[in-house]
Structure 1
Amino acid sequence: MSRIALFPGSFDPFTRGHEDIVLRGLKLFDEVIIGIGRNAMKQRYFPIEDMIRLIELTFAPYPNVRVVSYDDLTANIARQLGARFLLRGLRNTTDFEYENSISQVNRFVYEDVETVFLITSPHLAPISATIIRELHRYGKNIDDFLPISLERIR
């Protein structure tokens, strides 16, 4: 049986920190599926199509990484995709508190799913998607924080 992990998130944008989690996850799992969740309650800053393209370009050399978008509970999508693991990155204790609660709910919805937490690499921990969006909103170049420049995907 393949060890398939779903790495869910809004990925608005997909950062070098996210890339790091996927690459490290590939050492643990046969396949990593990056799942971009659609949330009707949130307005995206970067178009989801741009993020899908950025992620596909980033992982083009990796046939065991794919990208999906979804509009459902993460646990339901994991079940549909045959993923028995959810992959999540933790930057700090605040992330842990939030992610721990979500992992419990995911187990309630899909009892066979396990959440695997990877601690963010130290040099990537200070940066968040929120900070990157704020920099971009005020005209700062964010290429250093993304695996591929946004200009390459447009």
Structure 2
Amino acid sequence: MRLLIAGWSGRIALVGAILLMLTGVAGADPGKPTRDEVEALTLKAAALIESQGIEAAREAFNRAGEFRFGEIYVNVIDFTGTWLAYPPRPAGVGQNVVNLKDADGRFMVKDILKVAQESGHGWVSYRWLNPVSNRIEPKTSFVKRVPGKDLVAYIGIYE
């Protein structure tokens, strides 16, 4: 009798796992942050820049850990569109990217600056190279103006 019950409970667990995968719950990437988590991390990055300055913050942003993991990294630009932090390619720091276009020809940096300057914070969508998949993918970034500075921190999540 125990073998029969164990067999059924194993089948029920298997069916349950399949149903979870089909509904997307089990298929979700547990390491991928949510929009709320990206927003909170961006706010924390802007606060770090405000309290410790861009040099100290850039070190934290370039180092693997809280601000850089998987496809997540902190970008920082000034109001002229010059990169002050870009962890996927630190050599890009100092480069002006104000006229940079995404894969669809959108002036994404201008969109980011507009949100930061007009609202102080918000979301901007574009298509960008995912450093993990090495493919152009839809991306939505939370943008936050650093309080009291003409700097913008933003972190994106690939959709």
TM normalised by structure 1 equals 0.26
Larger relative contact order (C-alpha < 8 A, sep ≥ 6)? Answer: 1
TM normalised by structure 2 equals 0.26
